[in-house]
Amino acid sequence: MSLSLLIDPTFSSAPGTDGSRDLFPDDGEYVGAIAGLQRDTTILHDLPDAVFIELYAYEMLERSCEFAPKVRGEETWRVPFWPASLLVAADISVHALREIERMMAVFDSIILVNRPQTALVPESNRVLGALRFDPELYVAAVTDQARIEGWEVQS
Amino acid sequence: MNSSSRCSLNPAPGPLSWLFPEMVAFEPGQIGSLVDLTRRPYTAAELQEHLGSYAEVAVADGPRGRSLCRILKAAFRAGGPRVRLDDSIPQLESSLVELAAAAPAGEVMLDTGEWRAVTELEADQVGLLPLRPLQAFEDIDVVKRAWSTGCRGRVVPVFLTDPSPAEQAYTRLPEPWWGLLPGDHYPDDLRAAHHDLLRTLWPDRFLQFRAFESYALAGFDLYDEVSRGRFDMAWKRPPSVSSRRPLVLGIDGIDGAGKTSQLKALRRYLESLGLVVGVHKIYRHGVFHETVTELTRQCAGDRNLHLWPLQRRVKLFDSIKYYYSSVVPDLQRCDVLLFDRYVQTHRAAGLGRYDHDPFAREFVSVYPEADRVYLLDLPEPTALARIAKREKSTVDENSYMLGRYRAALLEMASDPNRSDGCLVRLDGTASIADNQAKIRADVDCLLKERV
C-alpha cells in the first residue's frame, strides 16, 4: 500500500486524467459551498483569510479520513495548495494547522508541481473564495518546504 | 488624489488599552502623514475611503499592526494602495521591547519615557512595568514587595511579546492579545502569579481582565473583529433562492429531547396530507462528525483551547456544505422542509460555551428563516438519563454544558428578537402524542396562512 500526494494548482482544468483522486473536485460539497457563498453572500469578503485557509486545511483532513481506510495498492491524491505554505504567504502565524496535520493521513511521498504564479489565482478563487495570499510568497514558501522535506519537484 | 504618495498608519489601541486606557498616553506621538488610530477613531468605511487615495500605506509593525495589515490587504484586494508593514514607525510594543532591554530591574516607565523605581512612584502616577519573558516572576515579585511596604502608584504590568509558538503550547494567542498576555508562554503558575498581581493592583478591573483572558485563551481575536468593522459592512441575507419557498419547520432541543421521534411523526402527518416533504439534518454524522469530535476532544481539560473556535467554524461550514448540496435542491422540489435541529442549535452552541461565536451569524445566514422551530425543552438530568445508553459520549454530554445549551435555547425562545419570532417552547417531558398534537395544530394554521 502506498499513498502519494500531488500538489498541483492547475489540476482542476483536467481532473483525474492520471487516475489520481481529486480531494477538491468541482462537483464536491466543499467547492460547491465556496461557489454558493460567492454567489449568494458577502461572507467570503467579510471574514478573515485565516478562516478559509484553515477550512481548506480541514477539508484535506476530512477527505483524508474518509479515503484513507479505502486505500488499496498505490494511490495518489491531488490538492491545489499546501496549507502551511498558504499560511506563510498570507502572513498568518497563529493557527491550528499543527493539530490538523497531526490528524491527517501520512503520505509516503509528496510531489510538488511548479506552475506560474498566474495559475494560482483561479485556483485560489475556486477553493478559497478569493486570492487570500501573496502568490510570489506562496511559491517561495512551498518550494522551500519541498526542499526541506525532500519532496519530488516537477516543472 | 495622492496617487504617488504614502500614508503611515498607527493601529488602533488593542486589548491592553481596552483594559488600561492609561496606556494611550504611552503611544508614540504623531509624526508626518501618520493616520493615528490610537487618537482618532475611524469607522472601517471611513478608513477605507481615506486610505484609498494613497499609492502606499505603511502600517506600524507590531502585533496590532500585523493584524491591521492583513485586514487592509484584504480590503484593497480588488484595487487600492499597496499595504505593507514598516518597522520604522514607532509603536508602543516595539519601543517597549527596546526600552525594557536596557531597563533596570524593579523600575517602571513613565509616559515621558523616564524610568523610575517602583517604590518611588507617586499615587497618581502611572508606571509601565515590563514583564520580561524569562524573568516575569521576578518582575512580579518586585512590585508585590513594593506594595507590601505601602507604595501605591498605578502600575500597569505589560508582557513583552513573544511571537514564537512553543512546542508544547496549549494556547495560541492571536497577536493583538500580546502585551496583555505573554504569547504562548503562559503556564499555569505564571497565570496564577499574574492574577494575584492584577487582583492587588487593579481589583476593580480584575473581572474584566478574566473575561479578556478567557476569550484570548480560546483563540478569539476580538481586535480583528472590531478592526475589520464587519458589522458596518454590507452584511446581508442572500436573496431568496426561489419565489416558491417551502414551509420551513425545525425541531430543536438538547440531546435526548426526543427530536427524532417528533420529526418522524410530523413527517408521516404531512405526507398524509399529500405534501412533498424533505427531511434534513444540518448537524451531520459520519466522517465529518467523527473527525470534528476528535478535534473537540483535544480541548478537554481546558487544553488546546485555540481549537475550540476552529471546531465551531468547521461545524458551521459543514452546515453550509450541506445546505448547498442537499437543501437547495429541495427548496424547489418540496412543499415542506423538516429540519432535525435548525440554526438555533448553532447559536446555542456558541452562546453556551463562550457567549460569543465569531462568524456564526454570517455562516448560518444562508439558511432561510424558519416558519417555526419547535423547542423540545427538557431538564438536563432527564436528558442525560435518556442518552446514557448511547455508545460514545461527546465532551458536551454533561450536566453543566447541556444546562448551558438549554439556557441559551430558552433565552432565544423567550426573546423573539433573538429567534426571529419562530421558536416555540414545548415540554419535552410530555408524551410524544401530546406534543405531536400541539405541533400538528400549529402546522395546520401555518399551512392555512400560506393558502
Percentage of the residues of chain B whose pLDDT score is greater than 70: 88
The predicted pLDDT at position B90 comes to 75
Please give the interface size between A and B, counted as residue pairs whose CB atoms are below 8 Å apart. 108
On whether any CB of chain A is under 8 Å from the CB of B288, the answer is yes
Q: What's the pLDDT band for B234 if we cut at 50, 70, 90?
A: very low
- A127-136, B126-135, B191-200, B330-339: least confidently modelled range: B126-135
CB contact under 8 A, A41 and B294: no
Residue whose C-alpha cell reads 450536566 in the numeric block: B399
Q: Taking CA atoms, what residue in B is nearest to A38? A: B238
Please state, in angstroms and as integers, the Cα–Cα distance from residue A4 to each residue in A7, A64, A75, B291, following that order: 10, 12, 6, 22
Average pLDDT over residues B91-120: 80
pLDDT tens column, B129-162: 988 877 888 889 989 888 888 888 899 999 886 5
Percentage of the residues of chain B whose pLDDT score is greater than 90: 41
Distance from CA of A154 to the nearest CA of B (A): 30
Across the interface, of A46, A62, A93, the residue whose CB is closest to B235 is A46
Task: Tell me which range, B38-42, B401-405, B411-415, is most confidently predicted by mean pLDDT.
Answer: B401-405
Q: What is the DSSP-derived secondary structure letter of residue B325? A: I
Average pLDDT over residues B184-209: 92
- B129-143, B205-219, B353-367, B385-399: least confidently modelled range: B385-399
On whether any CB of chain B is under 8 Å from the CB of A55, the answer is yes
Average pLDDT over residues A15-44: 88
Q: What's the pLDDT band for B419 if we cut at 50, 70, 90?
A: low
Please provide the average confidence, as pLDDT, over all residues in chain B: 85
Evaluate whether B57 touches B33 at the Cβ level (below 8 Å): no
Across the interface, of A29, A49, A99, the residue whose CB is closest to B74 is A49
Average pLDDT over residues B199-218: 94
Average pLDDT over residues B392-410: 85
Cβ neighbours around A118 below 10 Å, total: 8
More confident residue, B188 or A135: A135
On whether any CB of chain B is under 8 Å from the CB of A27, the answer is no
B307 chain-A contacts, CB cut-off 8 A: 96, 99
DSSP B422-440: -EEEEETTS-HHHHHHHHH
* One-letter amino acid of B16: L
On whether any CB of chain B is under 8 Å from the CB of A58, the answer is yes
The b-or-e profile of B23-55 (16+ CB within 10 A means b, else e) is beebbbeeeeebbbbbeeeeebeebbeebeebe
∠ Cα A22 A36 B71 (to 5°)? 95
The predicted pLDDT at position A61 comes to 95
The predicted pLDDT at position B303 comes to 78
- A54-63, A94-103, B100-109, B343-352: least confidently modelled range: B100-109
CB contact under 8 A, A32 and B321: yes
On whether any CB of chain B is under 8 Å from the CB of A131, the answer is yes
- DSSP reduced 3-state for B249: strand
Give the ranges where B218-258 is alpha helix by DSSP (H): 222-228
Task: Tell me which range, B62-66, B341-345, B346-350, is most confidently predicted by mean pLDDT.
Answer: B341-345
On whether any CB of chain A is under 8 Å from the CB of B329, the answer is no
Q: What's the pLDDT band for B237 if we cut at 50, 70, 90?
A: very low
Going B98 to B103 to B106 to B112, the CA torsion angle's sign is negative
Q: Is the pLDDT of residue B233 over 70?
A: no
More confident residue, A34 or B89: A34
* pTM as predicted: 0.90
On whether any CB of chain A is under 8 Å from the CB of B447, the answer is no
DSSP bridge pairs for A154 = A113
- A69-78, B193-202, B436-445: least confidently modelled range: A69-78
The predicted pLDDT at position B437 comes to 97
More confident residue, A47 or B243: A47
Percentage of the residues of chain A whose pLDDT score is greater than 90: 77
Q: What's the pLDDT band for A120 if we cut at 50, 70, 90?
A: very high
User: What gap in Å lies between CA B178 and CA B158, rounded to an integer?
Assistant: 9
How many CA atoms lie within 13 Å of A122's alpha carbon, on the beta-carbon side? 11
Average pLDDT over residues A115-141: 95
On whether any CB of chain A is under 8 Å from the CB of B231, the answer is no
Q: Is the pLDDT of residue B27 over 60?
A: yes
On whether any CB of chain B is under 8 Å from the CB of A95, the answer is yes
CB contact under 8 A, A93 and B163: yes
The predicted pLDDT at position B438 comes to 97
The predicted pLDDT at position B235 comes to 41
Q: Is the pLDDT of residue B105 over 80?
A: no
Q: What's the pLDDT band for B124 if we cut at 50, 70, 90?
A: confident
Q: What's the pLDDT band for B50 if we cut at 50, 70, 90?
A: confident
Average pLDDT over residues B44-52: 80
Q: Is the pLDDT of residue B395 over 90?
A: no
Distance from CA of B446 to the nearest CA of A (A): 28
Give the ranges where B229-306 is alpha helix by DSSP (H): 259-272, 287-297
The predicted pLDDT at position B30 comes to 59
A60 chain-B contacts, CB cut-off 8 A: none
B164 chain-A contacts, CB cut-off 8 A: none
Q: What's the pLDDT band for B73 if we cut at 50, 70, 90?
A: confident
